[in-house]
Amino acid sequence: MPPLLSVRGLERSFYGVRALNGVDLTVERATITGLIGPNGAGKTTFFHCVSGVVPPEAGTVVFDGEDITGWRADRISRRGLVRTFQIARGVPRLSVLENLMLYGHAQPGERLLDAVLGAPGVRRRESELRERAVAVARRLNLTRVLDAAAAGLSGGQKKLLELGRALMTDPKLVLLDEPIAGVNPTLASEIAAHLESLRRDGLTFLVIEHHLDMIARLCAPVIVMADGRRLAEGTFAEVAASEAVQEAYMGRRKWAS
């Protein structure tokens, strides 16, 4: 089976800064692939370009056998590739339940006429989405805050909501941008357990993370980016042992000593 995501020569610059400098990488199905690299390596820009939030300038993105390069973000999401944001955003003035239901696809009530007339499909889909949202919330331990505004959640709950919203789209691939940054250790290992159980259900993740112990425990393979390129790939032990990787993070030995 071909890889779920296959990216070739992806480039993007911002005002002369070459954030992505020809990234080549693939993500295999039903893996939790780690994406690490020093600050400014281009990891988040890579997510932007793959998810359609920012269009790439060159290169191709093939997802699940279809070239999605340059598609708009909403179309990519409906195709089954959804991403989360590094700073957990959520829609602040929507309740948690609404935040989850917002991510549901194929709601005819999002067409103006059907919404006003209350077409029969609208209510049916709405209760399906509600059921699904409640189930996702239960899985992520968010049941108690379903009615709360997303703005009022704690940092950790916001991270869970990020994940939950992504799950609502029924995705094939989820791009997670630092899912446990700033989360307390107990909740972090809970999130890790969620990811692992979802992977066993057949979901694929590409995860940016700086907590190396989480990467070590969860991710295989691990891809290292530096200077807008893929630098190395392998198991965590392999990339951690790589001299090139150590150099990218720490600088060259001869300068350091």
List binders of other proteins among 216-235 (CB under 8 A). Answer: none
* Residue 135 in contact with other proteins, rule: CB under 8 A: no
The angle subtended at Cα 229 by Cα 188 and Cα 225, nearest 5°, is: 20
Out of 30, 135, 146, 220, the only residue in the binding site for other proteins (CB under 8 A) is: 146
Please compute, for residue 35, the number of CA atoms within 13 A of its CA located in the half-sphere on the CB side: 29
List binders of other proteins among 28-47 (CB under 8 A). Answer: none
The CA distance from 41 to 25, in Å, is 14
Out of 11, 22, 31, 102, the only residue in the binding site for other proteins (CB under 8 A) is: 102
Q: Where are the alpha helices (DSSP H) in 105-235?
A: 112-117, 120-139, 155-168, 185-200, 212-218
* Residue 126 in contact with other proteins, rule: CB under 8 A: yes
Residues near other proteins (CB under 8 A), total: 43
Please compute, for residue 189, the number of CA atoms within 13 A of its CA located in the half-sphere on the CB side: 4
Q: Are 30 and 197 in contact (CB under 8 A)?
A: no
Judged by beta carbon, residue 30 or residue 73, the one nearer other proteins is: 73
The CA distance from 21 to 9, in Å, is 8
Q: Are 68 and 76 in contact (CB under 8 A)?
A: yes
* Residue 72 in contact with other proteins, rule: CB under 8 A: yes
CB of 241 to other proteins, least distance (A): 36
Stretch in the footprint of other proteins (CB under 8 A) among 90-98, 190-198, 209-217, 219-227 = 90-98
Interface with other proteins (CB under 8 A): 51-53, 72-75, 77-78, 82-83, 85, 89-95, 97-98, 101-103, 105, 107, 109-112, 115-116, 118, 122, 125-126, 130, 146-149, 165, 169
